[in-house]
Amino acid sequence: MSNFFNSGLRLKLVTLVVIGIVSAFTVFGIFQVQVQKQRIADEMRRSGQERVSMISEAVANLLVGYDYSNMESLAERIVQQQDVQHLIIRNRDDKVMVARNKPSLPDQTTLSFTAPVQFSGDVIGRVDLELSLARVETEINRIYFDVVLQQISFGLFLGLLIYFAASHVIVKPIARISEHMKQSLGSKFDTMPEQLPLTSHDEIGDLTRIFNNLNRKIFEVQQQLRDKIDLAGSALMKTNEQLQQRSMELELRSQDLEKALDLVEKLAVTDSLTDLRNRRYFDDNLAASFARAQRFNEPLSLILVDIDYFKNINDTYGHAAGDTILQALANIFKSRTRETDICARLGGDEFAFLLYRANREDGLAFAEGLLAKAHQLKFTFHEQPIEIGLSIGIACNWDDIHSIEAIYGAADEAMYEAKRRGRNQVVAYPFDIQPYSGLKSAKINPKA
């Protein structure tokens, strides 16, 4: 210890600088790492709870409407996100509706979140979300690296302070240098700072020369930085204007493309005359709806509708009159159809309805309503009043029907039975088939 106090000024200053750097690096480094780790963990928990709440809101309508296709599609897109590891959607009975998993790595840390699915104030299910902490661990590693760099810079800055403070304690003339330093620190370096006079050639003299050179370098570097900042600011403003213009052009093109795609998709599944779904859309959805109804043991009703004597109307009053009748009926059909149901024009004057979660009695009530609405329509062509009649056939999967072909054939047979019984009425399968000698001819010419 006595050798330290008897050593030269340079050794004392170097020793103090080393102690200050090590102490500052250790204390502030540990503190900053802990703060950053806690911040990231809190942010991850908050973000995870918000995400699971948003998912529960998104699936509420899908869960109520038993829209499993869109529910599964939504779950698939969510699991494809980088940090999502596991997603489960349950109904009010805690039954799993949709579950998606992503393969996990060994020793992978995760966080679990859950949120109730509410609809009109009632809890109708639950969403379980599991997020991977791989991204958080990567972020923590990056923080460690940043903290090392920051603490090195901080340690060097602290070392300079200790260096000047120790010089002031050891050598009295350092007070004059310290005062000049304070004046320099308060200056904006708009002009070249005043140089300290060199009065000795020892450590203090070296410190004076270093300080003078440092002031000059700071002034020169600051001037260079100002010039570079001005130049970079001008270039950045120009680049920003170009980017904004390009972004607006891309946004306009993207909107035009989305509109075109929506139109193409609508035309592919929509009947151009009535704006109802077409035969292609109906056939594609019939198989999926029937399979879903069978899977969950839910009723599904298929209704086929045919306009009575429509061919005579076309032949007598022209196709324009027939188109007017089709459009008027289509408006009625659309107003009577729920969002979960499907109404389609199969071709000509034949329409079809697919009523999900509707049994035979529900189908009969729905069809009777259609018939009543059709009777209210009044048309006049060539000064001749025309009333519209409908032959409607109904089939439900609960009536011992186990295939798509069977339910379609049953509804079709019910519709022809309505024609055989005098048209303008509703017939539901199964029905008592009376002997009818003209059955085949009636099927061949149903619209005569």
Both 259 and 284 in one domain: the answer is no
- Pairwise CA distance, residues 441 & 437, whole Å: 9
Is there a contact between 390 and 371 (Cβ–Cβ < 8 Å)?
A: yes
- Domain with residue 18: its CATH number is 3.30.450
Both 343 and 386 in one domain: the answer is yes
Choosing from 269, 287, 320, the residue where a domain stops is 269
Q: What percent of the chain has pLDDT over 90?
A: 31
Residue 123 is assigned to a structural domain of this protein: yes
Higher pLDDT, 341 or 76: 341
Give the model confidence (pLDDT) of 268-311 as tens digits. Answer: 789 989 999 999 999 999 999 999 999 999 999 999 999 999 99
Count of the separate structural domains present in the chain? 3
Residue 86 is assigned to a structural domain of this protein: yes
Residue 220 is assigned to a structural domain of this protein: yes
Residue 402 is assigned to a structural domain of this protein: yes
Residue 153 is assigned to a structural domain of this protein: no
Residue 349 is assigned to a structural domain of this protein: yes
Alpha helices in 99-202 (DSSP H): 134-170, 174-185
- pLDDT band per the 50, 70, 90 thresholds, residue 448: very low
Both 371 and 404 in one domain: the answer is yes
Is there a contact between 354 and 285 (Cβ–Cβ < 8 Å)?
A: yes
- Pairwise CA distance, residues 105 & 4, whole Å: 56
Choosing from 269, 293, 308, the residue where a domain stops is 269
Both 431 and 350 in one domain: the answer is yes
Is there a contact between 412 and 392 (Cβ–Cβ < 8 Å)?
A: no
Domain residue limits at 367 = 279-444
Give the model confidence (pLDDT) of 149-183 as tens digits. Answer: 766 676 666 666 666 665 555 556 666 666 766 76
